Amino acid sequence: MAETDEWSANATESLNISLVAPATGATKTIASFNPKFTYSIFGDDERIFGYKDLRIDLRYRTFDMRPNVKVSYGKKFQSVGETEAADVNATLKEHLPLVAFESAREFNTGAQSQPDGWTPPGAFHSSYEGHDGTYEVWKGSLADPAVRQIVTRVEALIPMFIEGGSYISRDANDEEDPWKVPEDANRWTVFFLYRKQTSPEASGRPSYTFVGYATVYRFFCFRPLTPPSSEWDLPKEEFNLLEELPCRSRLSQFLILPPFQGKGIGARLYKTIFEHYYNNPQTLELTVEDPNEAFDDMRDLADLTFLRSLPEFSNVKINTSIALPNPPSGTVPKDLVDQELLRNLRQKTKIVDRQFKRLIEMQTMSQLPASVKVGFGEEQKAKPTKEEKHHYHLWQLFVKQRLYRQNADVLGQLDQSERSEKLNEALSSVELEYARLLDWHARWEEHAAAASAAAAESGGSKRKSVDDAEDQGASKKVRIEDA
């Protein structure tokens, strides 16, 4: 066993990923980092057998993300019977395109300069100014060969940084041609995020650095047909039927490379995508596929900020004139919050039902009197009045209503006392989660207000958005990462 361990390398530590940018007549490495996970590539134990001092260098050109792999080691295990060293290159070929295994010399030559006039694939979508350059979002279809080429190059990073992340550009079950164009490629929309800079080294020409990307899948759905007006004519311009059909859009992959995390960039990309589908008349709903906790936090803050920008959202309140059910196990009032207002808001914002309900609960919790509101810190609270207690109990009832419906199958099997205990435990957990998020959001608002005031005094202007909240939240217990 000891000898076997001696020849076993930690895959996560052995794999080094770097970004290589053009320099004057050469290249420069602008960032290096290790993956978080390698179990989807090298097995659940994330070990590679058969090498001492193993090093796997996976380099990417910063503009077109062309990869190059180099495997080096101090010693290699000599085969004994059926026991032999793992074939690292063969394993990686199942996850990276063949261009990654061409010579390092060819890669280095191509990485020394970005071709004149090169731009990211797809169509320019939007941009914003950052502290270190202009950040541009480019949008395209996976059916576009140039878009698909970059996706196939960077997609190996998805399971390395997103637990349970999967591929969309390759089919592992297709042994003959796993890289062929997916049949549903035209349903995939890809958003690339690039940083654009100019430097004397490039004679003032813009240079692009890949920052991250996201993919969105369209599920077509049907609405009741309405007859066309009498003056309706066939469109005279180029017409894409698929883009005109009503759909539900699902955010599937979302990755910001580690060197760019913790700077609010992920929140900015999410906001850009959300606003795109919010303004898209064909999209009925925007969902997220299996988000992790870090992404959930970012999404909560971004969605809450967006909702608070809508005038009608200020009308979302607990109806404190409603009496509590008597006995407590009696029928829960239906209109604790104006249901028609909520239906109209959800339809307008296109936020998926469960996420929307959580945001409503956060908003109504933020309106609770300080005497009853759960929060961080040890500040003294005033003794709550009868009216304040009533407000708090109505809010608790409002949240319990969702929790019960969400877990009805399990809770329905418990007796009343146990069911009540489980609901109260779940409610306490929800309160603490919301308190953390609302505390983070409040501190960000204070920071944004102070920054705006400082900018106004200096005669400048600085726009703040929820993307700046990532750094603000990092000083608290929770640490947010783009994922």
* DSSP alpha helix (H) spans, 139-184: 145-154, 158-161
Helix axis angle for 339-349 and 293-308, nearest 10°, is 110
Compute the distance between CA of residue 293 and CA of residue 273 in angstroms, rounded to an integer. Answer: 19
- Is 13 designated active site? no
Question: Catalytic residue among 129, 238, 244, 289, which?
Answer: 289
Spatial CB neighbours of 458, under 8 Å, sequence gap ≥ 6: none
120 and 138 Cβ atoms separated by less than 8 Å:
yes
Q: What residues are designated binding site?
A: 254-256, 292
Return the number of other C-beta atoms located less than 10 Å from residue 69's C-beta.
19
**CA–centroid distance for 381 within its chain:** 37
9 and 48 Cβ atoms separated by less than 8 Å:
yes
Task: Transcribe 63-111 into DSSP letters.
Answer: TT--EEEEEE-SEEPPPBTTB----HHHHHTTTS-GGGGS-HHHHHHHH
Burial 304-332 (b: 16+ CB within 10 A, else e): bbbbeeeeebeebebeeeeeeeeeeeeee
Q: What residues are designated binding site for acetyl-CoA?
A: 254-256, 292
Residue numbers annotated as active site: 289
